[in-house]
Structure 1
Amino acid sequence: MAAQEGINVVNNKNDLQFEVNLNGELAYIKYQYYKKDIAFMHTVVPDAFRGKGIGGAMAVVALAFAKDQHRKIMLYCPFVSKYVKEHAEYHSLVDTDYHPSFKLGKA
C-alpha cells in the first residue's frame, strides 16, 4: 500500500509492523492487538532517512489500516501519538478508555 509518492509502506503481518525498506535498512512502526484495539508500540526510522516523511507515510498507512479494520487505537509510541495529536482527522480512532484526553478534546 503506497502512502506517499515513492514511499512504499508494507504491512508485515508476520512481524506486526508497518515497514519501509530503505536500500536494505528498515523503517517500521511496531503494533500489536490488544482486546478490540490496535496498539502502536514503537517507531524506528534509520538516522540517514529521518526528516524525509517516512515516519508520517507509515503512520498514514497504519492509521488507515486501523480504520479499515474498525479498530480503535492505543498510543504507546511517542511518534504516532504526536502524529495523531497533530492530525484531528485521526482523533476519532483513539480509544478514549485508555486515552481520556481525546474524549475531553484536549488531545
Structure 2
Amino acid sequence: MMEFQHENGRYFLEKNGKVIAQITYTVINEGQTYSINSIVVDPSLRGQGVAKKLLDTIVADARAKNMTIKPVCPYVKEAFLRYPDTYQEIEYKS
C-alpha cells in the first residue's frame, strides 16, 4: 500500500529519497478551500492509479475538515467532470 507523506502545500510519495509523485495545493477562501495546482507522477508509476490515489487522499482530507476543492490542475478538472457523483459536493463554486 502507498503511504503518502504530507507537508504544507503537498502530499507526496518518496522512493530512495526522491519524490516520485506529488499533488500540490494552496489554501484559499479564508482557509476553507484547497486549490489543487498540480499532480506529477514519475513515468515509471503511470497507469497504476497513483494520481487518482493522490487526489482521493486530498479529497478525504478536505471532507474531514469540511473544506471544498477548487480544481485548477487539468487532471483534477477532468476527474471532477468525469466522476460528478464522487466529487460534485466537494467542488468549490465561486
The normalised TM-score by structure 1 is 0.76
> Unmatched 5+ residue regions in structure 1?
1-5, 98-107
Aligned counterpart in structure 2 of residue 19 of structure 1, from 8, 12, 21: 12
SS at match of 2:26: strand
SS at match of 2:12: strand
Aligned match of 2:90: 93
Following the alignment from structure 1 to structure 2, what is the Cα–Cα distance between the partners of residues 22 and 79? 23
SS at match of 1:39: strand
Following the alignment from structure 1 to structure 2, what is the Cα–Cα distance between the partners of residues 30 and 67? 17
Aligned match of 2:45: 49
Following the alignment from structure 1 to structure 2, what is the Cα–Cα distance between the partners of residues 39 and 75? 6
Aligned match of 1:61: 57
Aligned match of 2:22: 28
Aligned counterpart in structure 2 of residue 7 of structure 1, from 2, 25, 30: 2
Give the fraction of aligned pairs with identical amino acids, expressed as a percent: 19
> Unmatched 5+ residue regions in structure 2?
none
Give runs of ≥4 in structure 1 deviating > 6 Å: none
Following the alignment from structure 1 to structure 2, what is the Cα–Cα distance between the partners of residues 89 and 95? 14
Following the alignment from structure 1 to structure 2, what is the Cα–Cα distance between the partners of residues 23 and 85? 35
SS at match of 2:38: strand
Following the alignment from structure 1 to structure 2, what is the Cα–Cα distance between the partners of residues 40 and 22? 23
